Amino acid sequence: MKTLERKFSSSERIIAKAKFSAWVYLKCVLVAVILGGVIAALWIFNKQIEGLFGVKNAPIYLTDANMRWALLGAAGIVIISILIVSLKLYSRELIVTEDKIVYREGVISVHNVVIPLKDVCILESNQTGLQHLFGVGSVNIISDAEQPYLIKGVRGAERFTRRVVRQMTEVRRAQETKVLLTLG
Secondary structure string (H, E, C) spanning 16-32: EECEECHHHHHHHHHHH
Quick one: what percent of the chain has pLDDT higher than 90?
21
Across the range 143-171, mean pLDDT stands at 89
Across the range 68-91, mean pLDDT stands at 87
Is residue 113's pLDDT more than 60?
yes
Is residue 138's pLDDT more than 90?
yes
Q: Are 106 and 115 in contact (CB under 8 A)?
A: no
Write down the pTM of the prediction: 0.76
Helix 64-90 × helix 25-44 angle, to 10°: 180
Is residue 15's pLDDT more than 60?
yes
**What is the pLDDT at residue 75?**
87
Across the range 114-139, mean pLDDT stands at 90
Euclidean distance between CA atoms 59 and 39, whole angstroms: 19
**What is the pLDDT at residue 58?**
65
**What is the pLDDT at residue 1?**
57
Compute, in degrees rounded to 10, the torsion defined by CA atoms 41, 44, 45, 50: 110
Across the range 115-121, mean pLDDT stands at 89
Mean pLDDT estimate for the chain: 86
Euclidean distance between CA atoms 136 and 126, whole angstroms: 9
**What is the pLDDT at residue 184?**
65
Across the range 30-40, mean pLDDT stands at 86
**What is the pLDDT at residue 107?**
84
Structural domains for the chain: 99-183 (2.30.29)
